[in-house]
Amino acid sequence: MIEKYIALVLPEERSPLVTQVRVALNVAGDDRLDAPLQEILKGLQHRYDIPAVGCINKATLDALAVAPPEW
């Protein structure tokens, strides 16, 4: 269970996953997990009873119906 809360993308990191999350949220921007996107994620995480840390994790991707990376 804890694996779904491990950060896949940390604040200020660049990742194609950030772009997918922005599309799911309909939020403009680049591929960096910047402060405004972190605040939006914290709000979403709070609404879905996910620890509101502002990073991208599996639980957040599930809430947004975004497929996790296949590493």
Could you report the per-residue pLDDT of 23-62, keeping only the tens digit for each? 999 999 999 999 999 999 999 999 999 999 999 999 999 9
Q: Domains in the chain: how many in total?
A: 1
Q: In this structure, is residue 71 part of a structural domain?
A: no
Q: In this structure, is residue 40 part of a structural domain?
A: yes
Contact 29, 37 (CB under 8 A): yes
Q: In this structure, is residue 69 part of a structural domain?
A: no
Tell me the pLDDT tens digit for each residue of 8-19: 999 999 999 999
Q: What angle do CA 7, 8, 9 make, to 5 degrees?
A: 95
* CATH number for position 38: 1.10.101
Q: In this structure, is residue 23 part of a structural domain?
A: yes
Which residues span the domain enclosing 20?
Answer: 2-64
Please tell me whether residue 60 adopts helix, strand or coil conformation: helix
